[in-house]
Amino acid sequence: MKVNSRLLPLSIAALTLSVGVINIAHAQEQVVKIGHTGPLSGANAFAGKDNENGVRMAVDELNTKKLVVGGKTLKFELVSEDDQCDPKAGMAVAQKMTDAGVKYVMGPYCSGVAIPTSKIYDEGGAILSTVGSNPKVTMGGYKSVFRIIAGDNLIGSSMAQYAVTGLKAKTAGVIDDRTAFGQGLAEEFIKEAKVLGLTIVGQDFTTDKSIDFSAILTNMKGKNPDVIFYGGYAGQAGPMVKQLKSLGVKSKLLGGDAICVAETGKLAGDAANDTVYCAQGGAILDKVAAGPAFRTAYKKRFNQDPDAYAASFYDQTMFVGTLMQKLNTVDSAKISAELHKASYKGVVTTYAYDANGNLQKAPITVYGFKGGMPTPVQ
């Protein structure tokens, strides 16, 4: 076949032009990595995956908005790592994230990971948005750390108040798992209990790996408290309440947000019903304007209902994205400074932070268990 040589320059020019357009398109796109750190394995994997799903929903939504910053369209990418709810693993994840240039990190779930990793993220210029509720999380002086839910001081004290006003308790026993989260939560409960005149008749300790609490509960049974407050996670609360029933202990079991999840009912079965009461640092999804729509979208995407904090992580990720557009920058230092000044109406609540990174006017909801599921009582 004879090639028309006069057409060759035109064809080459057209090809060069098309390649140039593709290169320009790529040059006009800027990747923004959104990190997630949480327990994706072990007893708290259900929570880590739920939190990750909330971030993923926001990342996908931000990408559909095609936000333009500095003349470039932002492409958000989720980078998720398993910190196992373990401080040592969490430190390794933090170093990996910052080495990879991740400047926006959602998590950790566990206070025991959030406290030691805050320094690494801060030094790496990353913003950390966590549900770690121990007061120490926001006491390190790092301006880049934000707690996106209520702290233990509010959660622990609200359960002491409910024990007295809602359950008419006069005496309480306290057990904690010795983690930063569990111990901190128990301390806040005890502090408020003393103010309210709720007598602490016994205090004991376990670990976040234990599954046999018969000795501790037998000891508590002898003291006959009206309620037992447990500072710890669902993986222990579920078996604990089953053993509570089998030993004939009449006390109600109280706890914080980490047991205020479907996993507790799954592990405890019917034993949780009308026995377990807990407080969660968030609003009831079905009772806030955007809640039902979020629940529907989440269930459609992941084929399950959202758990405790998926919506909170979704909200914070969206908050960060809107600030990038507002300030026309992806500079984490500038976004961090604005997070301390701006407010954002999300699904769960209106987000605004104080100078230490604590969520202001954080909502608290008290739940009991019905049909194996946490059900709002207050």
CATH number, domain at 46?
Answer: 3.40.50.2300
- Cα 104 from Cα 162, distance rounded (Å): 36
56 belongs to a structural domain: yes
Same-domain check for residues 253 and 144: no
Distance CA 179, CA 205 (A): 10
Q: 17 in a domain, yes or no?
A: no
Residue by residue, DSSP assigns 28-85 as TEEEEEEEEEE--SSTTHHHHHHHHHHHHHHHHHHHHHT-EETTEEEEEEEEEEE-TT
Q: Which domain holds residue 223?
A: 153-280
Asked whether residue 178 is assigned to any structural domain, the reply reads yes
Domain boundary among 265, 280, 295: 280
145 with 161, same domain: the answer is no
Other beta carbons within 10 angstroms of residue 24's beta carbon come to 9
Do 157 and 188 contact (CB within 8 A), yes or no?
A: yes
What was the pLDDT predicted at 223?
Answer: 97
Q: What is the mean pLDDT of residues 325-335?
A: 98
Whether 312 shows a pLDDT value over 80: the answer reads yes
* pLDDT score recorded for residue 281: 85
Judge if 167 and 145 occupy the same domain. Answer: no
With residue 24 as reference, give the H or E element that holds it. helix 8-27
Q: Which of 218, 245, 280 is the last residue of a domain?
A: 280
pLDDT at 19 over 50: no
Count H helices, E strands: the chain?
Answer: 12, 15
Q: Is residue 22 situated within a structural domain?
A: no
Residue 50 lies in a domain: yes
Cα–Cα distance, 138 to 242 (Å, whole number): 35
Whether 93 and 45 share a structural domain: yes
- In the structure encoding, which two tokens stand for residue 98, read together? 């910052």
Whether residues 274 and 157 fall in one domain: yes
Same domain for 249 and 323? no
The reply to whether 206 falls in a domain is yes
The yes-or-no verdict on residue 30 having pLDDT over 90 is yes
Q: Does one domain contain both 42 and 83?
A: yes
Do 48 and 144 have their domain in common? yes
Tokens 């954002």, located at residue: 344
- Residue 215: CA atoms inside 13 Å, Cβ hemisphere, count? 6
Q: Give, in degrees to the nearest 5, the angle at Cα 255 between 361 and 356.
A: 35
Is the domain of 91 the same as that of 168? Answer: no
Closest CA to 152 of 112, 207, 210: 112
Mean pLDDT to the nearest integer, 291-314: 97
Mean pLDDT of 65-91: 97
> Residue 378 — very low, low, confident or very high, per pLDDT cuts 50/70/90?
low
Residue 241: count of CB within 10 angstroms of its CB? 30
Q: Are residues 298 and 327 in the same domain?
A: yes
**Alpha helices, DSSP H, located in 200-353:** 214-223, 234-246, 262-268, 291-302, 310-327, 332-339
Which of 230, 261, 280 is where one domain is finished? 280
Supply the angle between the helices 310-327 and 332-339 in degrees, to the nearest 10: 110
Residue 3 CB coordination number (10 Å): 8
- Pairwise pLDDT comparison (363 vs 274), residue with the higher score: 274
Q: What confidence tier does 25 reach under pLDDT thresholds 50, 70, 90?
A: very low
Contact (Cβ atoms closer than 8 angstroms) between residue 77 and residue 59: yes
pLDDT tens per residue, range 211-253 = 999 999 999 999 999 999 999 999 999 999 999 999 999 999 9
The residue-averaged pLDDT of 317-334 equals 98
| Residue 378 located in a structural domain | no
**How crowded is residue 16: how many other Cβ atoms within 10 Å of its Cβ?**
10
The per-residue pLDDT for 55 is: 98
For strand 365-370 and strand 276-280, is the pairing parallel, antiparallel, or unpaired?
antiparallel
Residue 138, domain member (yes or no): yes
How does residue 8 score in pLDDT terms, banded at 50, 70 and 90? Answer: very low
Q: From residue 168, how far is each of 55, 217, 230, 231 by CA, in Å?
A: 40, 21, 18, 20
Cα four-point dihedral sign 344, 345, 348, 349: positive
Mean pLDDT of the chain: 93
Residues 163, 218, single domain; the answer is yes
For the chain, percent of residues with pLDDT exceeding 70: 93
pLDDT score, position 173: 98
In this structure, the answer to whether residues 86 and 189 fall within a common structural domain is: no
pLDDT exceeds 70 at position 73: yes
Domain count, the chain: 2
